[in-house]
Amino acid sequence: ISTQDLQAEMPRMPEAVRERFLNEPDQFREFVQTLYLRKAFAARAQADGLAQVPETAHKLLTARESILADAYMSRIAESVTPAPADIDKRIQSIYKAEPERFRTPAETHARHILIKGKDADARAQAEKLLQELRNGADFEALARQYSADPGSAAQGGDLGFFPKGKMVPEFDAALDALDKPGSLSPVVESEFGLHIIRLEARKPGTLRSFDEVKEQLRAETVAKLQQDARKREVERVRNEAKGDASAMDAFIAEQKRLAPAPAAQAK
């Protein structure tokens, strides 16, 4: 295994793997041994004439064709990739033309207590808890003790910040009606049961700056240009092909004739 072999292999590794190999010589030696075995076995197979075995020859041919096809499509993609300065102009235009794409939605921070069920007993319990809260009881303590929501009960009913639409409509509507932090909703019924909701805070939507999104936009723009170029080339080459429908039909008929008959089903 030569230095050139290793220099060709290294860029193909994920960065983390490459770093580990360089920092752990024993693992790198094992990698070199693997390359050696691959090359040695391939040389012995060649010497034994295995490359001429029809099945192996076909695999070699298709592997070569696949590698060359990938290289050709990579060249097509590279040919349409603009220079960095041109990409920057494109993405600045996109940012100015489509500001809503880069706006983060307003979010609300809330807590809730969920009582399972919707019958009279469940409603009586929920109303009792609501009255206790209005009288000054600790919301977080009651949530830990009574809430049936496994995701938030242990955190004192805390749901964190979330955008509108993440919760069920009844929950969102009740939360929208609360005007200031600390406000309590009436008992709210949803498909999950009965909720008591407390508003914690509201956070307005913001427009992400160009610097925040430019790398995302650059990657999207280049990927789109390259994808479109690949599609155009696929269509161009596909349109050059001339099919022979009769030959195709004959091949299918012959394969069906040669296929083994299906086993009779047991009755």
Q: For 112-170, write each residue's pLDDT tens digit.
A: 999 999 999 999 999 999 999 999 999 999 999 999 999 999 999 999 999 999 999 99
Give the separation between CA 207 and CA 103, rounded to whole angstroms: 4
Q: How far is CA 46 from CA 43, 51, 121, in A?
A: 5, 6, 82
Residues with Cβ < 8 Å from 10, sequence gap 6 or more?
18
The number of beta carbons lying within 10 Å of the beta carbon of residue 148 is 14
Side by side, which strands form the sheet with 107-115? 158-163, 107-115, 193-203, 188-190
When pLDDT is averaged across residues 171-182 and rounded to a whole number, the result is 96
pTM for the predicted model, two decimal places: 0.60
Q: Which residues in the chain belong to E strands, given as ranges?
A: 103-104, 107-115, 158-163, 188-190, 193-203, 206-207
- pLDDT of 263 higher than 80: no
In degrees, rounded to 5, the angle at the alpha carbon of residue 15 between the alpha carbons of residues 68 and 72 is 15
DSSP state of 53: S
Task: Classify residue 150 by its DSSP letter.
Answer: T
* Residue 73 in this model has a pLDDT that exceeds 60: yes
What percentage of the chain carries pLDDT values higher than 70? 98
For position 230, what pLDDT does the model report? 96
CA atoms of 158 and 152, how far apart (whole Å): 5
Give the model's pLDDT for residue 264. Answer: 56
pLDDT score recorded for residue 260: 83
Give the mean pLDDT of 211-226. Answer: 94
